[in-house]
Structure 1
Amino acid sequence: IPGEKVKNREDRLVVLNRVAKSVIEGVRGQHPERVFTYYGRPVRSINNNGWKSVRRKLDMPIRVHDLKHTFGRRLRAAGVPLETRKILLGHKNGDITTHYSAPELEELIEAANRVCEGKSGKTPALVVLKHRTLSAAAR
């Protein structure tokens, strides 16, 4: 996508998965220049009245931006590395990518349960840390 069309004004590579590609292929050729149109006219903003109308009809408070969060979370759940997620989401900063790809509840539960098993498959013993007191001479 040319830089003048995107938020940070830099050219952006958009990688399509097979589902997205099939959607594009399904509408290809319906307009001489544009991929997505609305009644033959260019779509200038995805956050338009059409999207708002669909939200009302479905009674779902979903924002267009929620789709990006969903994509980020699905990438993470699929085990896609942070650097790759960052590029696919169009981010320069990994912290932003982390915000968009928060772990799913199932991943959090699995992580919490990992501490229940040691390498041998047995529950690890409780580790008690004792505080050492320094002698007056060592202070």
Structure 2
Amino acid sequence: MFAECAAKYLKESENKASVETIAIHIVAVVPFIGHLEVEKIHDGTLESFKASRIADRVTPTTINRALEVVRTILIRAAKVYRDEDGLPWLKQAPPAITMLDETPREPCPLSWSQQEALFKHLPKHLANMALFAINSGLRDSNVCGLLWEWEVKVPEVGRSVFVIPWQFHKTGKRKKRSLVVILNDAAWSILNEQRGLDAIHVFVYRQERRKHHDLAPLMQYHRIGTMNNSAWHTAREKAGLPKLRIHDLRHTYGARLRAAGVLNEDRASLLGHATKSMPEHYAAADIGRLINLSNGSLDRKSTCTVLSVINR
């Protein structure tokens, strides 16, 4: 059955940085095809999955990522997975799976008023994550997967940076370079607010009690798989931003840096873009300079005009 193949593939992927995303796609698709034998998976049997996701206003890009996971599982079933007789679980070549047409959307950086409208509807834990993302430029997976063990103190500037190993961020996988995360004043404040909640992950969540506050919380803190959840969708609808993506927080940071006059090479360093001149580690003086540049994104007066033009 497809569900068995999916479970095996998820087990194999448990040490991958993308395991949370893989799990999300598997959970989405298994109710539609999990009960089917792998020989019966094809475009026709995937139509109900596609239609349901489209009805739920899931983007074609996200649907295609799930279909890619299905395709990978079928390839593993045909080429790797074997029964006790040594025969492949899928005895023929996997069928071609038709992807949906993707229409790339232009970046949509937030204005300050839009940010305020959005953040007031986010629950506290998600608002902290979003505020950190919009002031560090980190992608969703890196915010959710940020570990305390990657924190490196820089006494000369009175704060820390995070050094994310190359295996755990998008650019690093291409260049095999660690990502140095510079924290401006807002990101630093959020970081210190998170201290002590969990020994491993920076951003965590637990269900608090709505009554009987004198009793222990309902559950322990746990890692958040993605910011792109129901709370995010609800908040963006209430804020009048139904198409806003998590990645637009990163676009907002980049746009504000540009509006503050930060040069392209420095913006690339702050956003973690791979460049020939980008070092893997910085001297304390460089970190101090980059912190000051990053703080330029907090200056509302210098960023309002450019953002209003970009959002038209």
Q: Give the TM-score range, shorter chain.
A: 0.5 to 0.7
User: What amino acid is the match of 2:204?
Assistant: T
Specify every segment of 5 or more residues in structure 2 that has no aligned partner in the other structure, as ranges. 1-163, 207-220, 276-304
The Cα of 1:107 is off from its aligned counterpart by 8.2
Q: Deviations over 1:64-95 (max 9, x none)?
A: 111111111110111111100011111126xx
Paired with 2:192 and 2:267, the residues of 1 have a C-alpha distance of: 24
Runs of 4+, deviation exceeding 4 Å: 105-108
- Identity rate of aligned residues, in percent? 40
**Which shifted more, 57-66 or 27-36?**
57-66
Give the match's secondary structure for 1:104.
helix
Q: Deviations over 1:97-121 (max 9, x none)?
A: xxxxxx926789xxxxxxxxxxxxx
Q: Cα–Cα, structure 1 residues 60 and 81, in superposed 2: closer, same or farther, change >3 Å?
A: same
Aligned to 1:58: 239
Aligned to 2:5: none
Q: Deviations over 1:32-91 (max 9, x none)?
A: 211101211112223233322332343422211111111111101111111000111111
| TM-score (structure 1 length as normaliser) | 0.61
Query: What is the root-mean-square deviation of aligned Cα atoms in Å?
Result: 2.5
Contact 2:255 2:307 in 1 (8 A): no
Q: Which has the larger radius of gyration?
A: 1
Specify every segment of 5 or more residues in structure 1 that has no aligned partner in the other structure, as ranges. 94-102, 109-139
| TM-score (structure 2 length as normaliser) | 0.29
- How many residues align? The count is 99
Paired with 2:223 and 2:193, the residues of 1 have a C-alpha distance of: 17
Contact 2:268 2:274 in 1 (8 A): yes
Aligned to 1:83: 265
User: What amino acid is the match of 1:78?
Assistant: A
